[in-house]
A and B are shown apart, each in its own frame.
Chain A
């Protein structure tokens, strides 16, 4: 990573550490996840930090329901998942956080591209952005370390200000992704 003059302090920090800090700054206290290899360092940071209430849900849908409830009750939350998990969500996103205007934030570890080895992952990954676009759901892809803080900060800010759900996608360009060894 080339040190950026604008963010000298961020250059030596990991994407997961930056995300964790921005979540805290925005008072996000609940983190639910269906785990994924690439998300492991972020899940570890969150689980190790008493600030967060964090636990695994059995399905991504369930996690969206839990965070929808907690957000309405005053506890901001995030749902962590993998691309394949996102693909199970179109109905609940449309009929719960979108129409009820509940700012549920999703963070998706992107599989299926830039070196994918699993045909199923590659096939389902292509549905993700078209689904987000057709839902009218704000989404951004994190691909550079020096942009992580800005994009996560502004996405959360907008979600809470406009009461709109949002999705952040973690590109293999940022995380390294998962490849066959």
Chain B
């Protein structure tokens, strides 16, 4: 496993600034099968939608901050299926307590990916607290999660995702991203999203 060097630990200040759509595509390409992916509000699920729709994807529309809790619920209900939560920095800051809950329960089949552009991009790029020094990996570690890393670059992002899918989670992966908006829009049809997702999870015909 790649670890931060003692001289220069990887953090939000020196991690490569990547692009949400590009790393979302990389994530989806790394999924070997029917892993569930929960996309958080706004750009996060827009880029997940545009990266190729899968029946195991859930596109969350209004309940800002709840992508990680939803992913936890799926992970608890289906321990044999790996579950990935995709969140933005603003959303995660809104619901930090869920990291402590996950550290308490330690679901092995859960990966949390936070994409940090240090701003509320979709509402006008107002800065979030991560722009002023809040470090989401340090916060996750402080909540009791032990496998928490910043991705130094795209290769390390791929490696962290691959490792997290091995079933020895929970894993927390943070990526610095630019402030580009999502490349498209999710079709906002909640009952259809639920139906497809449940079919993808094998809980509905």
**Which residues of A approach B to under 8 Å, CB–CB?**
30, 53, 55-59, 61-75, 77, 91-92, 94-96, 99-102
| Residue of B69, B74, B95, B100 touching A73 (CB-CB under 8 A) | B74
In the complex, besides A30-B77, A96-B63, 10 extra interface pairs with C-beta distance below 8 angstroms are A57-B69, A57-B97, A67-B73, A68-B73, A69-B38, A69-B72, A73-B81, A95-B62, A95-B63, A99-B191
* CB-defined contacts of B101 to chain A, threshold 8 Å: 55-58, 62, 66
- Chain A residues whose CB sits within 8 angstroms of the CB of B100 once the complex forms: 58
Quick one: which of A59, A65, A67, A75 contacts B63, CB cutoff 8 A?
A65
- Nearest chain A residue, comparing its CB with the CB of B98: A62
Q: Which residues of B contact A95 (CB under 8 A)?
A: 61-63
Query: How far, in angstroms, from A69 to B56 measured CA to CA in the complex?
Result: 12
> Which residues of B lie under 8 Å from residue A66 when comparing CB positions?
69-70, 72-73, 76, 101
Which chain A positions have C-beta within 8 A of B197? Answer: 72
A69-B38, A70-B77, A71-B73 are contacts. A96–B60 as well, Cβ < 8 Å?
yes
Which residue of chain B is the closest to A67 with respect to CB atoms?
B73
Instruction: Tell me, in angstroms, the Cα distance from A130 to B98 when the chains sit together.
Output: 29
Question: Could you write out 7 A-B pairs with CB less than 8 Å apart?
Answer: A58-B98, A59-B95, A65-B67, A65-B98, A73-B73, A74-B78, A101-B190
CB distance from A136 to the nearest CB of B (A): 15
Bitwise interface map of B from 47 to 77 toward A, beta carbon under 8 Å scored 1, else 0:
0000000000010111101111111111111
Q: What's the least CB distance linking B65 to chain A, in Å?
A: 7
Tell me the bound Cα distance from A56 to B197 in angstroms: 26
A63 to B60, CA, bound (A): 16
Given the interface pairs A59-B95, A96-B60, A100-B193, the reply to whether A65 lies near B104 with Cβ below 8 Å is no
Known: A57-B101, A74-B78, A95-B61. A69 touches B70 (CB 8 A): yes
Q: State which size class the interface on B falls in.
A: 35 or more
Tell which of A68, A75, A91 has the most Cβ of chain B within 10 Å. A68
Residues of A within 8 A of B193 (CB): 100
- B28 lies within 8 A of chain A by Cβ: no
Option from A30, A59, A68 in Cβ contact (under 8 Å) with B70? A68
Contacts of A30 in B (CB 8 A): 73, 76-77
B2 within 8 A of A: no
Which B residues form the contact surface with A (CB < 8 A)?
36, 38, 58, 60-63, 65-78, 81, 95, 97-98, 100-101, 104-105, 190-191, 193-194, 197-198, 201-203
Q: Closest residue of chain B to A101, judged by CB?
A: B191
Query: B62 to chain A: which residues have CB within 8 Å?
Result: 91-92, 94-96, 99
Q: Which of A69, A74, A91, A95 has most chain B Cβ within 10 Å?
A: A69
Asked if B190 contacts A65 (CB within 8 A), the reply is no
- B residues in contact with A74, CB < 8 Å: 77-78, 201-203
Q: What's the nearest-Cβ distance from chain B to residue A30, in Å?
A: 7
User: Contacts A69-B72, A94-B62, A95-B62; is A102 near B194 (CB within 8 Å)?
Assistant: yes
| Contact assessment for B66 and A61 in the assembled complex, using a CB-CB cutoff below 8 Å | yes
Contact of A72 among B72, B105, B201 (CB under 8 A): B201
- B99 to chain A minimum Cβ distance, whole angstroms, is 9
Q: Which residues of B contact A100 (CB under 8 A)?
A: 190-191, 193-194
Q: Is the CB of A92 within 8 A of B66?
A: yes
CA gap between A92 and B194 in the complex, in Å: 16
Q: How far is the CA of A63 from the CA of B68 in the complex (A)?
A: 11
